[in-house]
Amino acid sequence: MKAILLVTTGMMLAAGVDAAPSTQVAWTPATLDFVKKGDADRGKTLSAPCASCHDGTGTNPNLNGQLPTYLYRQLQDYKSGTRQDPATIMNAMASTLRDQDMADLAVWYGQQVPMLGAGGATDVTGIAERGEGRRMEPACSACHGTGGQGEKVDTPRLAGQNAAYLEATLLAYKSGQRANDIYSRMRLIAGKLSDVEIRQLADYYSRLK
């Protein structure tokens, strides 16, 4: 993966082409309104093929109760390729969706009862609640909400999420494999976490109710 990145960077420098932004989505009032007005009933119909994978197993995320803005942007990023699914399934799925389909799906999943953790969450790292000044690490809760419920505009809900997915995601940010965070914000944060801390944080958020 690193080799590919280096090659692409080299090519772009040679050609004098600008690097692609990490997402093509901008949360202008028009886009916000478009997503808000998504049709949940249509989204329900469209979601039929999603359920087989998004059932909380493996490293697949649970989508119920996720912020519609977050879901919409991820689908757009999969389609435009700024987020790469290692298995390429999501890129293929998203390429068939129109903007309206994405908004409908996002609203449908956003309306579902959120995933719930098993409880017993303790923040062993101290980073979820307090952050760490020495490493310039803000607390996770500062952006993702004190209960990990997600915040406006498109900071995702983490509470109750599949731990394996959370861990894989943080590792992907750390390695740079996932790069659809604007201005590298999550890459910078995850890059300073140890793999052990990543596992502990994933466990913590998966347990939150």
Binding site for another protein (CB under 8 A): 13, 18-19, 21-24, 26-29, 31-33, 36, 130-131, 133-139, 141-143, 146, 152-153, 182-185, 188
**DSSP SS3 for 132:** strand
Give 63 or 158: the residue with its C-beta nearer to another protein. Answer: 158
Closest CA relative to residue 128, chosen from 83, 166, 74: 166
Closest CA relative to residue 169, chosen from 118, 132, 206, 208: 206
Give 97 or 139: the residue with its C-beta nearer to another protein. Answer: 139
Give 97 or 143: the residue with its C-beta nearer to another protein. Answer: 143
Nearest approach, Cβ of 115 to another protein (angstroms)? 23
Residue 167, C-beta contacts closer than 8 angstroms, at least 6 positions apart: 198, 199, 202
CA 15 to chain centre: 31
Q: Which amino acid appears at position 10 of this protein? A: G
Nearest approach, Cβ of 57 to another protein (angstroms)? 33
Nearest approach, Cβ of 177 to another protein (angstroms)? 16
Give 187 or 207: the residue with its C-beta nearer to another protein. Answer: 187
Nearest approach, Cβ of 30 to another protein (angstroms)? 9
* Cα four-point dihedral sign 114, 85, 195, 129: negative
